[in-house]
Structure 1
């Protein structure tokens, strides 16, 4: 399991120009079964994605995010081993 943390490095006006393409990319991540949850940081300085897969595959996928291609965000990729969950979230366990 990976926690992908996005941090915007460009003004929001620039980020916003790439949101439609980024959202298509997000939807494809869900369709492939890789993404489990995602959303914005509050305040809006970036976002997060919970993802499953192997590190090389996740790194390759992150490189194709339109936000990365446009140079408006950075990613921090943290691998975690989920040991406990609330009821209903058992699929997050390793």
Structure 2
């Protein structure tokens, strides 16, 4: 699409660490190699950690993709729940983080 600067946000710190350090024997080494290949292209890619509450739209989309086969998946018509999360994201509503302190 011609983007020159890309920021990838993930709520998975372990994924960020794997991309930076996984060896060839890791079970997901093929995925990690592909991510590294994409990072090496002629663009700037930044991978950062955000809590899932900081990007509920991405968290929702990730949950839709969980369990699907690898590859590209497109959402042509957002579900009512996705529209709900998109709306709140656009107007800046924060999602609280529930923490068990017991």
Q: TM-score range by the shorter chain?
A: under 0.3
If the length of structure 2 is used for normalisation, what is the TM-score? 0.25
RCO comparison, higher one (Cα < 8 Å, 6+):
1
If the length of structure 1 is used for normalisation, what is the TM-score? 0.27
Quick check: which has more Rg, 1 or 2? 2
More strand by share: 1
